[in-house]
Amino acid sequence: MVKDTPIFAALADPVRRSLLLNLAEHSPRTATQLAWDYPITRQGILKHLHILGDAGLVVVQQQGREKRYSLRPEPLSELDQFVQEIGAKWDARLLRLKTFIENEETGE
């Protein structure tokens, strides 16, 4: 289940979210290619990619001497479903609260 994975910690950082968007548009890319787009070192990019990989959001393929990173979107679908379920529960609660308040105001 999504809530038991490191996906939330991985997505908490704006650089990692930006890397995911970058990989969604330009996969596969090497850490060096990614570092050109950010004001951090290649080593910094690799640390972020490692965290994203641990969360299952990035896969790496070895091509000769290079490692190429790509987005793995499946965990994002699971996350979306999880967030939708939570949203539906809150919508139901808010509707019950609204109904309760309206009934109190009309004296029912």
Band the pLDDT of 25: cuts 50, 70, 90. Answer: very high
In a 3-state reduction of DSSP, which class is residue 56?
coil
Going from the C-alpha of 55 to that of each of 6, 46, 59, 68, 105, the distances in angstroms are 5, 14, 10, 17, 49
| Tokens coding 23 | 């990989």
- Record the tokens describing residue 100, joined without a space: 């309760």
Q: What is the CATH class of 2-106? A: mainly alpha
- Residue written as token pair 């996906």: 7
- Within the chain, residue ranges assigned H as helices are 7-11, 14-26, 31-35, 42-54, 74-106
Condensed to tens digits (0 to 9), the pLDDT of residues 48-99 reads 999 999 999 999 999 899 999 999 988 877 777 777 778 878 878 888 888 8
